[in-house]
Chain A
Amino acid sequence: MNRLPAWVDYGLIPLMNLSLAFGVTAIVVMLVGENPLDALTVLVNGAFVYEGALGYTLYYTTSFVFTGLAVAVAFHARLFNIGGEGQAYIGGLGALMVALAVQDWAPGVLAIPLCIVGAAAFGALWAFIPGWLQAWRGSHIVITTIMFNFIASGIMVGLLSGALMRPGQSNPESFLFGESARMPQLHELLAPLGIEIGRSPLNLSIVFAVLACIGVWLLIWRTRWGYALRAMGQSEPAAQYAGVPVPRMIVTAMLISGALAGLMAINTVMGDQGKVTLNFPSGFGFTGIAVALMGRSHPVGIVFAALLFGALFQGGTELDFEFQTITREMVLLIQGLIILFSGALALMFVPWMERRFARKVAT
């Protein structure tokens, strides 16, 4: 068996795939008549340099960490949870329901954790059904999660323009979160301590995102459950033979995955908008797929990938302002290319690399 050195497998190949994606993007930028280097400068300035830009970048990064982890946890069991979008959406509903129930009497220290649990629980619930159907009825998780994205969106439109619609609104959006159920923003938290940071929607959720990363790492690589999960991902029959209760593992993995996706809502809904709006996950659930693929389903990789996408997303807004012919959809294009090159075409360079770098390993 040939094995590639780690620096090739985890360093060189991902880097080559990423450069291909950006190379194609540069060509597209040239085709629409702009200079790719100028665009890159604007993007980097927009993402890191301008006042408050870093805050926005980290705010988006937080969302991507949650949706990326969600995809990664399921992926370790070879389950494709592409329903992160719907799970995040329903997670927002969960946070809202809890908030409406408790915000009038509970103080922030109680209301916020309860809302977080609500978001995670509803997200988990939305992943539970596809997971259960996969485990016990054999229906394909990819198809069911796709369908559940659409079902979630239909239900939410119905609710946001119906029962949960705030009176006096012309657009479908929900009741407001009370003060006690809002995630404090970092610039508010740090101001009393004398630390001034620019205004941005960056909020306490980023701390929870870090905790989630550590939690996932511990769970996948430091527990018996995680070992069983990875074993199942490598070979389901072998895991079953070794006594892993496969259907139950599928359901639990999906529950955790859905809960993580649902947590994305605490960042956007509780941390920024203070209400549930129409289609608030706005594709971040799908971006989670790109994040997990790029991050090789490892929390450390996911943090870096999420930061890259956060920067792209925030910098993309700046591109919109600066250039007439470049819009933020350029970021969507980059995202598609990254999924293509570091996901679908991930193996493209492997045979070539194996010829150059592989060492024979006794099997």
Chain B
Amino acid sequence: MTCLDILLVFDSTLRLATPLILCAMAGLISERAGVVDIGLEGKLLGGAFAAAAVATITGSAWLGLLAAIGASLSLSMIHGFACITHKGEQIISGIAINILASGATVVASVALFKRGGQTPTLDRDERFSPIELPGVEAVGDVPWFGPFWRELVSGHTLPVYIALASVPLMWWLLWRTRFGLRLRAVGEMPAAVDSAGLSVTWLRYRALIIAGVLCGIAGAFLSTAHGAGFVREMSAGKGYIALAALIFGKWRPWSVLGACLLFGFLEAFANRMQGTPLPVIGEVPLEVVLILPYVATVILLAGFFGKAIPPRALGTPYRKER
């Protein structure tokens, strides 16, 4: 493997990690506020479909992005309505959203486009195109830094940069603002927040709104930036990997980013190595590499390396009166 090959693997790591990062940040804010979010997968899928469908109809990737955010937000609000307003079981609601999304996207897609659940392939100008960062020409000849800037940093689509920006933003929001402090308190001890005169319900709803927006962007990335159209089940478990990354990163933004990049790298590396035998273990099927994130998360959860402690009020609806 040459140096360029390695850069290309990292480049593809970044792209594969983008939906993971966005979804994991969505899960982070929701779970920090005490609402379990198993429904990341469904929101991602719903967003992907809405983006592709609207981009096909209107010809604009931007409207597609808006639609994706709208679709994902509505699913997020269903989740909120069920488990914040009606104090329903959060895990069941999440499962419902995932199944709902996987059914509804195909139903809507068949009704709109009659292509067996796919949307038509999008043209170049109906998608987000790679953004050339300034200075690619200027530093192009500089050894090491030139290729690094050209191949790895520059030339990604907008959602990739949004994903990368979302991590420091999330950290700032949760740990440096008053809203963030209250939000985290709602996830740890809602009664305290309530007795301070703040609305637990509204705080949790706001967390779910932000989560919905982030998942929508991730969905738009899948179908209108990374891919060129919607394919049924195109989220392919990425929402669940994001959930794994969230736990693997112990509900902290920077560690979660690390986990997403690690899981993205595993996939990129496996794609690259497909068919080439590795030293000692021989040829490894792609599928076996792809289960590593799940195995790693199970081992972490079992407390064999470090301990992942979830927010204390995670999963329990808040009841004001007893």
Contacts and interface: CB of A to CB of B under 8 A. Distances in A.
Nearest to B98: A336
A286 interface: yes
A133 B295 CA distance: 13
A32 B111 contact: yes
A329 B106 CA distance: 6
A347 B232 CA distance: 33
Interface string A61-96: 000000000000000000010100000000000000
Interface stretch (A153-161, A185-193, A202-210): A153-161
Given A148-B294, A162-B285, 18 more contacts: A32-B110, A80-B91, A133-B298, A142-B38, A146-B240, A147-B244, A150-B237, A151-B295, A293-B92, A325-B110, A329-B106, A330-B103, A340-B97, A343-B96, A344-B82, A345-B86, A345-B93, A348-B88
Interface core residue of B86, B87, B295 (most chain A CB under 10 Å)? B86
A33 to B, nearest CB: 7
Interface residues of B, number: 50
Nearest to B301: A139
Given A31-B111, A340-B96, A133 B103 contact: no
B61 to A, nearest CB: 25
B78 to A, nearest CB: 7
B100 to A, nearest CB: 3
A337 interface: yes
A345 B89 CA distance: 8
A346 interface: yes
Interface string B146-174: 00000000000000000000000000000
Which DSSP category, helix, strand, loop or mixed, fits chain A's interface?
helix
A332 B108 CA distance: 12
A345 B98 CA distance: 15
Contacts of A139: 298, 301-303
A329 B38 CA distance: 21
B247 interface: yes
A144 B298 contact: yes
A154 B301 contact: no
B102 interface: yes
A98 interface: no
B295 A339 contact: no
Contact of B294 (A31, A147, A290, A344): A147
Interface string A320-352: 000011110111111111011001111110000
B104 interface: yes
A288 B189 CA distance: 34
Given A158-B287, A344-B96, A332 B111 contact: no
A327 B107 contact: yes
B285 A161 contact: yes
A319 to B, nearest CB: 11
A149 to B, nearest CB: 8
Interface string B75-92: 000100111001111111
Contacts of B104: 28, 333, 336
A356 interface: no
A137 B307 CA distance: 10
Contact of B301 (A140, A336, A343): A140
Nearest to A287: B99
A16 interface: no
Contacts of B193: none
B34 to A, nearest CB: 15
A138 interface: yes
Contact of B92 (A324, A331, A335, A339): A339
Interface string B187-205: 0000000000000000000
Interface in B255-295: 285, 287-288, 290-291, 294-295
Interface in A152-204: 153-155, 157-158, 161-162
A332 B89 contact: no
